[in-house]
């Protein structure tokens, strides 16, 4: 199962800041599908903490964003249009910045990732 998450309203970073993330629940990894004004890696790992989803960098596993209330372990609760608060923490020298997340799409179909970023041992290979 994959979720497409839209992060937005980080006005302190950039007036039109947003990011579209593709969350792969099976591998517990994410990829960046589009962004403006929010600097984040192309992909990383997902961790769960007390009902929140931590979007983490691939290098050191440090959270770049916390999706409050998005519990990936609760399959029955997710729905398109679901929303919540996002805490942006990618810029470690700054204080946390608050924005929002919302689920744009839930995909239950199995599909190959376009650029195979999630393929084990093939992080840099493109299809």
CA distance 112 to 127: 10
What is the reported pLDDT for 121? 47
Q: Report the chain's mean pLDDT, rounded to a whole number.
A: 81
CA distance 57 to 9: 21
Q: Using only C-alpha atoms, what is the Rg of the chain?
A: 14
Q: What is the pLDDT of residues 103-123, one digit of tens each?
A: 988 887 765 555 555 544 444
Q: Is 19 helix (H, G, I), strand (E, B) or coil?
A: strand
CA distance 9 to 85: 10
What count of Cα atoms within 13 Å lies in the side-chain half-sphere of residue 34?
9
Global confidence as pTM: 0.80
What is the reported pLDDT for 13? 65
Mean pLDDT of 64-75: 88
> In order of start, what are the domains of the chain with their CATH numbers?
2-107 (2.40.160)
């Amino acid at each position: 199962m994959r979720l497409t998450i839209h992060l937005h309203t980080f006005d302190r970073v950039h007036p039109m800041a947003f990011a579209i993330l593709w969350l792969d629940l099976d591998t517990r990894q994410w990829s960046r599908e589009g962004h403006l004004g929010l600097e984040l890696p192309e992909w990383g790992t997902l961790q769960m903490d007390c009902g929140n989803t931590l979007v983490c960098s691939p290098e050191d596993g440090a959270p770049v964003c916390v999706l409050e209330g998005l519990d990936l372990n609760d399959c029955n609760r997710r729905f398109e249009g679901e929303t919540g608060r996002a805490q942006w923490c990618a810029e470690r020298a700054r204080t946390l910045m608050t924005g929002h997340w919302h689920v744009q799409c839930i995909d239950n179909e199995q599909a190959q990732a376009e650029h195979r970023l999630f393929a084990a041992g093939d992080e840099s290979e493109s299809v």
